[in-house]
Amino acid sequence: MGASLNGTAWRDRYFASADGLRLYYRDYSAAVAGRLPVLCLPGLTRNCRDFETTALRLQPMRRVLTPDLRGRGRSQYDPQWQNYHPGTYLDDLARLLRDAAVERAILLGTSLGGILAMLIAATAPQVPAAVILNDIGPEVAPDGLQRIASYVGRHVPVASWEAAAAQMRAMYGVAMPDACDSEWMAFARRSYTEVDGTPRLDVDPAVGEAVRAAPSSGAPDLWPIYAALGTLPVLAVRGELSDVLSAATFERMARDKPDLERLTVPRRGHPPLLDEPECVATIDAFLARLP
């Protein structure tokens, strides 16, 4: 059993992937029964700790599952970096849902996690009851894609938590221009694990190899996958400063899906942390309207 700083508990759970990796997720049991759970899917280099604040807020009313994708956090690293791709992640997530005895859920995905949410809707339409996309859409802006590919797996090792926080500020400062020192330290604590007294970034560097091995033509066309969302309730969140989800793509998403709910988070880039007051109010209202 794990516990957050405020004493609210979650269950540490593990399951086996098809190729035998030991994969991890947190299970925040709901205080009341009868409501659909929320499955939170993290970004490319991120882990389940990004969703702790959101999970603790939702826990009184809904069960929340927050996985570490393979190669991240407490999940085992894959010795074959070629397996770091959406098809493998989808199979892992299907096994996670079976392990958790969940047949239907609300999907909340940040960046890569949002792409996985759309793919689940397209390939397993019986699973999602609703979807929240955090700063991701059917097109990834080239500037953002190039920025991400330039740093994934290439981080210089750090010797202290102060250096870890400085590294996170250098990497994500454009996304959170008004974050203070304590906020960068909290972000670092969600990004690194202390090993023998030294912070170590919580992601397999080989994830970067998988990103850079992608076709030079860039990201695939995901508009047909986005169309598979159909009439599902969908909330799309965009950081005002995002270089991954462009304003033009955000507008087209609304044109293609007229019932899409949208939120632009001021002074946030890629991605919003979801603890911003605008995000809290909008996500809570969106969930409250679900049947």
Q: pLDDT tens across 223-246, in order?
A: 999 999 999 999 999 999 999 999
Map out the domains of the chain as residue ranges.
2-142+220-288
**pLDDT for 195 beyond 70:** yes
pLDDT of residue 5: 45
Segment 25-28 long-range contacts (CB within 8 Å, at least 24 positions apart): 25/65, 25/66, 25/67, 25/68, 25/96, 25/100, 26/2, 26/55, 26/64, 26/65, 26/66, 26/67, 27/63, 27/64, 27/65, 27/100, 28/55, 28/56, 28/58, 28/59, 28/63, 28/64, 28/65, 28/66
pLDDT of residue 148: 86
pLDDT of residue 67: 98
Compute CA distances 281 → 38, 53, 62, 286, whole Å.
17, 14, 16, 9
Q: Report which residue type is found at 142.
A: P
The distance in angstroms from the start CA to the end CA of the chain is 31
Bridge partners, 11 (sequence order): 27
CA-derived radius of gyration, the chain: 18
**pLDDT for 219 beyond 80:** no
Under DSSP, the state recorded for 273 is -
pLDDT of residue 290: 93
User: What's the whole-model pTM score?
Assistant: 0.95
Mean pLDDT (the chain) is 94
- Interval 10-34: pLDDT, tens: 999 999 999 999 999 999 999 888 8
- CATH H superfamily, domain 2-142+220-288: Alpha/Beta hydrolase fold, catalytic domain (3.40.50.1820)
pLDDT of residue 223: 97
